[in-house]
Amino acid sequence: MTHDEIIKALFDETLVGNAPAVLELTNKGIAEGMSPSTILFDALIPSLEEVGARFERGDFFVPEMLISGKAMSGALNVLRPLLAETGAETVGTFLMGTVKGDVHDIGKNLVNIMLEGAGFNVIDIGVQVAPEKFVAAIIEHKPDIVGMSAFLTTTMPMFKVNIHEITKAGLRDQVIIMVGGAPVTQEYADVVGADGFAADASTAVRIAKELIAKKRASVSA
Amino acid sequence: MHTVLTSPGKTVTIGHDQPFCIIGERINPTGRKKFQEQLRAGDLSAIEKDVVAQVAGGADVLDVNMGVPLTDEPALLSKAITMVQSLTDLPICIDSSVIEALQAGLETYQGKALVNSVTGEDDRMELVLPLIKKHGAAIIALPNDETGIPATAAERLVITEKIVRAVEKHGIPLEDLVIDPLAMTVGADPEAVKHTLEAIYLIREKFGLNMTLGASNISFGLPHRHALNAAFLPAAMAMGLTSAVMDSRTPAIVESVRAADLLLGLDPWGTNWIMRYRAMEAAKAAAEGN
């Protein structure tokens, strides 16, 4: 297979969520001297972008998105250490968790998949994440963005509690905070003092990229 | 074991020897943007259409949820319950995770309501169960706790046992406990529905309790959801599910439930089935006559 054929096959197999084939092609590409960032940016990320676009149009469904994400994750496990060696810059680190009192994770997982698919380094700290756990994870992982998910009107107030705790710990200026979940609205995100909100996984990726670009621009200015 | 719900004009009995109890899910603003905006503006008029459609579709009980962020949910829920009770005599399932809203709803409701819901978390049960006892209501309880939603049926059985003990401790008869064995989407986990069916079977075997669940959850994220929901319910009924918070406006789904009633011996001699058939034929004839 030529390198172009491998890229094409990786794109196609990721699109249909064929994890074994994606892993095999990734290993094959590396063995044949392809750079890990070529595999990531020319095949995997465009494929996941296509998955997201199809999902947004209603042409793809939740299971298809999940298996594409799983296929990509398998490849990323191979690529991540290699990318770190070459010092390739990631798009950003995204710390994600469902708030305390809430166990819903389907939406959060979909957003994680799309973020990884867009090249983010995603750290998922799970469900029922207490405020102090968010704070500890921010200190440990130094994320660019903290994402909080809530599925219930009763657990949404945890956004505010978490943001308060993050502020109290002196970390508010270091992170961008995004919120989301079925009952969450832009208005609510504004009220609790979040920096960003998205109603679906694809939009979340777009907003995350915009917020990071804005922050980096303001820091360098 | 019979869970009896009442309104001033009607009594509904949920039980393993009864036709399946259809709880209409529609009066719920989650995922309905326009309805949310209306409710936030104090406009409850959309509820009327939802009541009419669900009653016509064959609902036995109506779920009422007013979970809109940044509103006075207790006041809104209370107002909605009064409105629904003025439109129909079907009993109501008062649906909120806000304790003050449940309280307001129970104070407003005329009759014996079903409350949706409490989890197996100790602090939640200590808040909700006294309220249920005080109002003599029935309660839906979910076998998940502080650690999350248990994947396996066996774990759900363990938390169900804990709920049963707590309900007994609070002096609430077990007839008034309805377990929600947790329906998750098969789109995110191919084994999800198998776990739910197994949990239903085990809870029925061990405790004989009535059960309900959010039936439409199983098809979330998938196309052609009606067919999946219609296939799921008879399977769950065969395992021992006695009720569901479900789509009662789609004839194919309601028909599959009523067909399963007959097949499982819950509609002896097909009395209800035949009556429905005659009513449908009569409606058809009337339509053709016009």
> Mind listing the pLDDT tens digit for each residue in A116-174?
888 899 999 999 899 999 999 999 999 999 999 998 888 899 999 999 999 999 999 99
CA B150/CA B119 separation, integer angstroms? 12
Shortest Cα–Cα distance, B3 to chain A (Å): 27
Which residue in chain B has the smallest CA separation from A186?
Answer: B69
Do A71 and A102 fall into the same domain?
Answer: no
B137-B138-B144 Cα angle (round to 5): 130
- Tell me whether residues A128 and B68 touch, CB distance under 8 A: no
Token pair of B97 as six digits: 């995770």
- Tell me whether residues A152 and B97 touch, CB distance under 8 A: yes
CA B7/CA B129 separation, integer angstroms? 21
Do A107 and A69 fall into the same domain?
Answer: no
Predicted TM-score (pTM) of the model is: 0.89
- With CA atoms as reference, report the closest residue to A68 among A3, A26, A1, A10: A10
CATH number at residue A191: 3.40.50.280
Interface of A with B (CB under 8 A): 61-63, 66, 103, 106, 109, 127-128, 152-154, 156, 182-185, 187-188, 191
Which residue in chain A has the smallest CA separation from B147?
Answer: A128
Q: What is the extent of the structural domain holding B114?
A: 3-289
Name the domain boundary from A86, A120, A137: A86
A63, A103, A187 ranked by CB distance to B187: nearest: A63
Shortest Cα–Cα distance, B46 to chain A (Å): 19
Question: What's the number of domains chain B is made of?
Answer: 1
- Tell me whether residues A61 and B187 touch, CB distance under 8 A: yes
Shortest Cα–Cα distance, B219 to chain A (Å): 10
SS3 letters across B83-138: HHHHHCCCCEEEECCCHHHHHHHHHHCCCCCEEEEEECCHHHHHHHHHHHHHHCCE
pLDDT at A118: 86
Question: What's the number of domains chain A is made of?
Answer: 2
CATH number at residue B54: 3.20.20.20
CA A111/CA A97 separation, integer angstroms? 11
pLDDT at A88 over 80: no
Classify residue B109 as exposed, middle or buried by CB count within 10 Å of its CB (0-12, 13-18, 19+).
buried
Tens of pLDDT, residues B198-235? 999 999 999 999 999 999 999 999 999 999 999 999 99
Do A117 and A63 fall into the same domain?
Answer: no
Least confident range of A69-83, B159-173, B242-256: A69-83
Which residue in chain B has the smallest CA separation from A184?
Answer: B69
Q: Which residues contact B29 (CB under 8 A, 6 or more apart)?
A: B35, B36, B39, B65, B66, B67, B68
- Tell me whether residues B68 and A153 touch, CB distance under 8 A: yes
In order of B51, B53, B95, B261, the CA distances from B81 in angstroms are 11, 17, 11, 29
Do A79 and A98 fall into the same domain?
Answer: no
- With CA atoms as reference, report the closest residue to B73 among A183, A179, A122, A180: A183
pLDDT at A221: 62
Q: What is the extent of the structural domain holding A36?
A: 3-86
CA B245/CA B224 separation, integer angstroms? 19
- Tell me whether residues B222 and A185 touch, CB distance under 8 A: no
In order of B8, B102, B133, B209, the CA distances from B112 in angstroms are 9, 13, 12, 18
- Tell me whether residues A152 and B67 touch, CB distance under 8 A: yes
